[in-house]
Structure 1
Amino acid sequence: MRLTEQGDADMDEQATGGHGVLICEDILKTQFEYSPDIIIIVDRDLRIVRINRPPHPGLSSETLVGTDAVLQLPGECREEGQRLLRACFEAGLAGSIEHAVPDDGWRHSRIVPLKHGDVTSHAMIICSDVTERKKAEDALRESEKKLRDITSHMGEALYVLDAEGHISFMNPVAEKLLGWSMQEMAGKNAHDLFHNCNPDGSRLPFEDCPIRKVLDNGRQFVSSDEVFVRKDGTVFPVSVIASPITEDGKIAATVTAFRDITDMKRLEQELSKVQKLESVGVLAGGIAHDFNNLLQAILGHISMASMSISSNNQAYGQLRKAEEAIEMARDLSFRLLTFSKGGEPLKQVTSIAEMIRQTVTLSLSGANVAAEFSLPDDLHLVEVDEGQIRQVLSNLTLNAKEAMPDGGTLTIEAENVQLHGREGLPVREGAYLHIVLRDSGRGIEPETLQRIFDPYFSTKKMGAEKGMGLGLSICHSIMKKHGGVITAESVYGRGSAFHLYLPAAFEAEGSRPGPKRTAARKKILFMDDDPRVRYIVIEIIKHFGYDVEIAEKGEEAVELYRKALTADSAFDAVILDLTVPGGMGGDVTMNKLREIDPGARGIISSGYADSPVMKDFMAYGFSGAIAKPYKIDELREALHKLLYD
């Protein structure tokens, strides 16, 4: 079909001879005239030379021939339409444009070149009515908007894969977690972008992707052991539920709901640490009593032996070394007891700022490490066992000092914070005092950071003077027993920071008064279930010049005390072992004695140094407490204070 400015005449002219050509031209002419689309033929001057029907009501095809084709476009589209027509004639390029028409209609106009030889002589504009398609697209967009609005208020992130595994929908929660927008993700492969590695960091092959397999097997996939990769390359753990969507019995898509479980994983790790500490606590509590009884017997005999020889004797120095070794063993025993259920803190409401300043300053004494404090005046009061919290601060300060062998700065900051349960910390919501100790040392390697609170884990050499692997474990246990938590963060080579969270206290409890009496009596009742301890302590008490009677259990001690009181030969003091397997312990025994004699005075003794009875002995009716194993001088001082002060 040849197109000239003569229009219909050229359409009817036979270009070449032959019946087949005539038939072909008739077919083309019929298609042109009866096409459901508007077809416009334009010359190089952009004027209409042929049109099968007018584009707007009230116009005729005859009146449009010879007019500017660009004027048939809406005003806002004319510049773009002219550019496309010029590109068609000058470069032989096809193009298209969509535009609105009156009565809320839409047209899609395609511009294609018509060539005569190698030259584009005319352009054909094919205008299709796409109103219904646009309405469907608008309806789809509105539906997607409603879906996004609904799913944006869900706690779960959602995305949809089409049958080819490409992303067709993503809710705002998913966008926020992944860092990608829906526009960036549309039509992309989810596996390539954010689900391409295993929890251990190894690559996840496309063919092994369990979410992708849902499209193949139609079975729902549920897991709490997957990881996704954010746009910035960071990896985070997720729980996922991927379900198939079927249409006409075929799998048309999958919808995947996922949740960031970083906080849950952190809590699981924290629970694992707590369970490890509790296991050590059970072990420590089980052996502490017998272990300290053995130490008491050994220390007592060594002390008595050293008193019986001259200080110039070579053996005297050896005995003193043995005593020092027992002291180290006792310290280790006390540290182990921190894990046991008997190591509960004796709390008092106090201001902690001065305690922090004093403990850190003392721990850094003589070191080439400077301390910088930021401790506001309005810090919350806290209810703490001062001795245990000092131990935490001292351990952390000593660790920081060791991390800076060439000197540096330890920054100590404190602030009041409100925790809302969204911080991933295993503590209740509420007001807390937040303490941070931040050093400028070498930092902690990532694999070490994950284990630093594990019992018996240490990067130091093991031994009495080196690392026992208990320092940070003890800190963790103490903080937990105070209703708080300790966490650590570090960048290897750039220093470390330890965070302490202690619940705020707003009312101080009154101190508990205890009895205080003076007397000068010298008859002692000693009760202990271990015969080795009884033997040596009797010898020590006699060495002091006191009379002493012994009892194995509380029931026997009560009976001896009653008889002595009746015979007008009352005991001046009692020393009672706290824990007596199969018998009445020291705390219950003291209650019985005070029922018999309200003036009864006693000393509680135990290998459970952190027991509430030992730490708050006056509340249980005792006048003093002494922890096993104790030295001769410690026992002498305790008895002297009870009998003579």
Structure 2
Amino acid sequence: MNPSSYKNHSVKKIRLPVIVPAFLLVTVLFFSLASYSALELEKHMAKETFSYIERFKKDFQKFLSLDAELLGGLLHFFGEKSGLQKAFLAQNRNELIEHSKEIFEKIKTDYNITHFYFIGEDQTCFLRAHNPPRFGDTIERFTLKQAVATGKPAYGIELGVLGTFTLRMVQPWRIDGKIVGYIELGKEIEYLTSELSGLLDVGLVFTIFKSHLNKQSWDEGLRMMGTEANWDEFDSFVVTSQSSPRFLERLRDVVSNTQGKQSLYLFEDERDGSQWQAGTTALMDAGNQQVGNVFIFRNVSLEVDLVKQLKAGVLLILVFIGGLMFLFYCRYVKSLETDLHSLYESLDAEIIQRKQVALQYHELSLQYQLILNSAGEGIYGLDLEGNTTFINLAGAKMLGYTSEELTGKHLHSIVHHKKMDGDEYPWDQCPVNKIMHSGEIFSASNEFFWTKDQKPIPIEYLVHPIKENNTIKGAVVLFKDIAERLEKENQLKLAEQQVRQVEKLAGIGRLADGVAHEVLNPLNIISMHVQMLLKKTDQEMEKKPLLKIKNEIKRIGNIVSALSFYSEKESVTIKNISPHLLLEDILVKLDPDIKARSIEIRKFFDPNVPNMDWDAHEMKEAFLSILRNAVEAIQGPGWIEIKTSLLHTKDLDCLKIIFSDSGCGISKEDQDKLFDPFFSTKKDIYGVGMGLPVCLSFVENNHGTVLIDSELGKGTTVTLEFLVQKS
């Protein structure tokens, strides 16, 4: 299909796809509105029914309270009659019957009282005025127990053994201030069915659970009251009273649809077409135990008719408005069809142009990405929030991540979140954040980034803000690892220091050569005369200054002898010797001092260490100086460890000899002066301060380096390193 035919086909087909969904949308909208309105009316109808149920419960209790007050007044009146009191106190049942018979007949006629009891203190029935032949049984009803427990009147509805539901009022019978028994009046509550039904304009059905009844006793009770009922009509309950027989016909359906407390059942009475909504509430006895249910039927014909009228009205409105909208859409869509021809033509040109731009953008993106990934330095971009917009492969690899792991993340909180001393480095203090907002270009070389395994790397970086229409949108950061450069700079500084030290020592050596003869000859003469004087005197007071002169002469001699090591030798004797043999010779020489101080020697000699081309005299003196310092640094029992190892590289091997001790250590302030001539931490006359400078000179003469690491109170480690040419 060519473009023009495609456009014409699309325009012709637009009416149906536009009009049908619009019509369906309106239909769904109105149906939803109608359904919502009907649902709200049904909710209101249910709410009204529930309110009627609540009114029934309140009015039911109100009627019971009023009748209980009446019964209580009668009981109080009867309790004051002397004839009843005398007969009860004498326990004369016949006399009590005579006195109570007339009273019961009157209250039965006037107030529908159906039960009249005289009960002993032990809760034994002394007389049923309404049924005199039956007496002597124990009354187990809740109202009586409550009156006994509290000594006050108690009332409530209770289910009798014959299945009758009765309002009972029990009053303690006090004669001369002492409780001698209890009087009880009872009134069947069936009369409430018609009264409450008429008051609330509802239908009522009272039921009792069969689990609380005995069929035989229930049948007997019905015969006594002259009524009839069918025990087997319902499975779990029997009907005790109802306001109208019409409700019994639908009671089974109501029961099956109102199992929950908040359930209602709507049905139509087929005889007159009226609509009824039924609900239920629990029938509780005086002990707050559910013994049955009361089913309440409310006529909702008006509400149901209103819901039907609402649905019909909404349907008519839907048809009318739908027709108007259909006509409107037909005209509106027709005008759209005429506009779409020109729109499609412009869209075709726009699409072709956008595809060309997208292709160019894709090619440029690939080119830029290739450039970024080819760069040897790290490059990443940030938005104004500090989130990474991109990072090249070199930068991600330098930090131990992949580009995907860092893109979109707040890079500062991942790689720049703390300083070298462990302190937190907040984002608002980071120069990158400050420069991004100031718009200036910034560079730094004294910062550290943290890799994925939390190792710091020294970096040098350049921050360049990204601007669009003079508005800062973010920044690009270029960074590189300068650890190797810093290491080379440190090595260069160390080499320069060592050169200056060697030149200084060489100057001292040349000076020593010139003055050694002139100094030693007078010293020898002075020493000889001091010794002669010591032999001639026996006085301790005279010997003391002479001995001090002798020691100082010896110290001067040691200094001159040490200086003579710096004089240039006329010849150097190089031998191929074993470092291990040299070390063993030194240990033998120092053995008396080692044993005297209880020092443990630990030797870890690498068997792969080769013989070295060394000046044996110089290296022996160097080893001796290091080990003597270690021995003298240990004041009590301790240890000295000597470890040799051969490290391999591509072109050269490295011999490493490490001397460690458990001595007193050296302070940080003194470590910078260890190789200065005449500096010594020793306080005796042997502390000339030339041992380590001589050691350094001899090691460097044999192409080695000396490194010292010490901590005051924890010991010292001296490391010698020598390059070994591969054969």
Q: TM-score, normalised by structure 2?
A: 0.43
Higher-helix-fraction structure: 2
Q: TM-score, normalised by structure 1?
A: 0.47
